Structure 1
Amino acid sequence: MGHDPDAVNDAQMDALIRGLDPLRELKTDEPLTLREQATLQRIMAQPQQRASSPASVSARRNLPLVLSMAVTAVVAMIAIVLVWPPATPRAVALTPPPLQFSSSSQPIGEVVSMAQRMLTNGHHSAPAAERKVSSLGWYLQMDHLPSGGTSSVIAPQIIDLTWQADGSGHEVITAGVPYLADGSTPPDPDLAPAVGSQLSETTYPAGGFGSPIDHIPGNTEADVRELLSAYWSPVAADPSASDIITAVSNAFGSWTLTDEQHAHILTMLASAPGATVAGAAVDRAGRDVTVIAADSTTNPDFRQLLLISNETGRIVGTEDVRLTPLGDLLPAGAVTSYTLWETR
């Protein structure tokens, strides 16, 4: 049998997974929580997964690396599943096109002030934070492409979660509208789950849903800082803009916050080092947003984006963008994940 120059052994696969991970910290020696176990089951149930693939075996063995949203308690998971074909075609689009920004000379303080005025006058939220989340997200996943294929399928997932103070809860994940990385609609319906089809349903028993804070957080700036620091500890001291965006991504996986709480987060972001205004854009749900960017302070290969609605002033999404190429696999500027909130 001849040698395949594109073959990837377990050690190389582990390195690739580490290189693709836009997240911040690893936890490899602790048992999985019930929610992590449920996340693993969801990953392994993906219809594109080939269980017999050597790469899928490697990915399962390295689950704590793949599920690497390590905060005080892991509450918002990004799953990066790699199913490596014997030979990956070159020059194939694997990730969504990056957001297109209009040029902007606005300072971040001006962007934050405009958003806060909308938050003060808009009344777009309940009076208190809620233990529920609805999100639309996509997280990098590579699968074998059809012969002659030049673009990978992007298959977003819709997560609807509710939970209670005792740690019980319910989560349903359904399929969003798929599209090709070049922006066109997949011609083959078998390439992605049918829109609206249920991918998984998880009922958490009391204590099964892990959250570092189970009480309803208050609306003061101190309350918001306490909440964010529970989900990403560097926020407790002098956080960078990257730290704040990481904490937001984690906390928003469990909570829907009030307008006032959003305003406090933006105040923190405006004074944090590393934040820049990337410009205005249309997000992946078709909404006008202004984007704040920050290079990751824990992984220099990545930039984090925070999306602010130009209609409500609320934080409505985050994205992770790779700044450096990953061999021939990903170019610099590749989007590796996105999560959108309040899309319906």
Structure 2
Amino acid sequence: MFGWASGLVAVAASTAIAFAVFSPQGAAVAGTPSPLDFEGSATVGQIVDDAQVALAESGGPTAPARVVTAASWGFDVEVDTKTTEVVPQLSRLIWELDGSGRMTIIAGVPYDPADAVASNSAEVTSSGEVVTDLVMEPGQFTTAWNTVPGDTRDDMVAMLRAFGMPADPTGLDVEAAFTTALDQWTLTDAQHRELLLLMEDAGGGDALGDTTDRLGRPVSGIRFTAPDGAFSDVVLVSLDTGRIVGVERTVLEADDVYPAGAVISYRMWDVSEETLR
């Protein structure tokens, strides 16, 4: 999985998900979700330009907020029977300047990964079961950026640098930094505009076309491949709002755990309150 969360949030997330369990010989006994199926053609520039239009009309958050609603997943594996289920989770993080906050994690409805091929848009639904409700005291939530960020390009660069973006980033570097930022902040549409432009300007992305994400939302995809070819990340941009609403990681080189082409993690933001219930 990505290193999205920090401090106690990472601890809470790790206790809430049952990840893949492997046999003593190291052979994987779990399947993974099926890849999203993209259609159509576009360029990265066209996706970003279309997102700018949608952002101007979407009426998103008017100010950054220390509140994040997200969806992700893990495995529940029975080693003896060699059966596995994909177990999505839905989460709400609320935190304050003093490092206090609350993380609530709700179990998703599990499913057999073999059934995901025909039902990508319906993979993440809430079971209503709260599996973690962690109240954090002042100072227990840690972050590299705790002050409200501004809306300019320089503001976003400063924030992303705090989250690990180098001075001369690739598109993958930009994506990695804003993935961490979006796990801690709900940003404005103006800030999403700057993130998209920074990602486009850094280069290295491949436009994939359009699809429906795992919450049933229409999105465009931009893929960034690691320099060593080990994995790729797909950034999902909402066709309705223009906002960055998800990132998925795929293994490109087979190993003892995953076959080439396996989706090993996804993270989606802007999850609706209705979905969380």
- Smaller-chain TM-score bracket: 0.7 to 0.9
> Given the superposition, is the C-alpha separation of residues 181 and 218 from structure 1 closer, same or farther in structure 2, using an over 3 Å criterion?
same
Where 2:98 maps in the other structure, the secondary structure is: coil
RMSD across aligned C-alpha pairs, in angstroms?
Answer: 2.5
Q: Which residue of 1 aligns with 2:259?
A: 331
Give the drift of 1:38: 3.9
Give the drift of 1:146: 6.4
Q: Which residue of 1 aligns with 2:32?
A: 95
Question: Which of 182, 188, 192 is the aligned partner of 1:252?
Answer: 182
CA distance in 2, matches of 1:243, 1:209: 24
Q: Which moved more, 1:312-321 or 1:93-102?
A: 93-102
Q: Which residue of 1 aligns with 2:243?
A: 314
Where 2:78 maps in the other structure, the secondary structure is: coil
> Given the superposition, is the C-alpha separation of residues 154 and 233 from structure 1 closer, same or farther in structure 2, using an over 3 Å criterion?
same
The amino acid that maps onto 1:144 is E
What is the TM-score normalised by the length of structure 2?
Answer: 0.86
Question: Which of 220, 226, 231 is the aligned partner of 1:290?
Answer: 220
Paired positions, count? 263
Q: Which moved more, 1:81-90 or 1:115-124?
A: 81-90
Unaligned runs of 5+ in 1: 1-20, 25-31, 49-80, 186-193
Question: Which of 168, 171, 177 is the aligned partner of 2:103?
Answer: 171
The answer to whether the 8 A contact 1:323-1:334 is kept is yes
Bigger relative CO (Cα 8 Å, ≥ 6 apart): 2
Q: Which residue of 2 aligns with 1:147?
A: 81
Q: Which residue of 1 aligns with 2:120?
A: none
Correspondence 1:230 to 2:162: yes
- Deviations along 1:126-157, one digit per CA (max 9) or x if unpaired, are x2110000001114x362256374xx311111
Where 1:134 maps in the other structure, the secondary structure is: strand
The amino acid that maps onto 2:97 is A
Q: Which residue of 2 aligns with 1:158?
A: 90
After the TM superposition, list the runs of 4 or more consecutive aligned residues in structure 1 that deviate by more than 3 angstroms.
21-24, 32-40, 85-90, 145-149
Question: Which of 109, 112, 117 is the aligned partner of 2:48?
Answer: 112
CA distance in 1, matches of 2:153, 2:252: 32
What is the TM-score normalised by the length of structure 1?
Answer: 0.70
CA distance in 2, matches of 1:100, 1:223: 35
CA distance in 2, matches of 1:148, 1:129: 45
CA distance in 1, matches of 2:80, 2:21: 14
Correspondence 1:138 to 2:73: yes
Higher fraction of strand: 2
Give the drift of 1:198: 1.0
Q: Which residue of 2 aligns with 1:121?
A: 57
Where 1:257 maps in the other structure, the secondary structure is: coil
> Given the superposition, is the C-alpha separation of residues 168 and 112 from structure 1 closer, same or farther in structure 2, using an over 3 Å criterion?
same
> Given the superposition, is the C-alpha separation of residues 184 and 103 from structure 1 closer, same or farther in structure 2, using an over 3 Å criterion?
closer
CA distance in 2, matches of 1:89, 1:33: 31
Give the drift of 1:201: 1.1
Give the drift of 1:39: 4.3
> Given the superposition, is the C-alpha separation of residues 85 and 110 from structure 1 closer, same or farther in structure 2, using an over 3 Å criterion?
same
CA distance in 2, matches of 1:242, 1:162: 27
Unaligned runs of 5+ in 2: 118-125, 273-277
Q: Note the 1:80-91 alignment, pairs <5 A.
A: 81-86=19-24
The amino acid that maps onto 1:83 is V
Give the drift of 1:85: 3.5
The answer to whether the 8 A contact 2:30-2:77 is kept is no
The amino acid that maps onto 2:165 is S
> Given the superposition, is the C-alpha separation of residues 145 and 83 from structure 1 closer, same or farther in structure 2, using an over 3 Å criterion?
closer
The answer to whether the 8 A contact 1:128-1:257 is kept is yes
> Given the superposition, is the C-alpha separation of residues 179 and 128 from structure 1 closer, same or farther in structure 2, using an over 3 Å criterion?
same
Give the drift of 1:287: 1.2
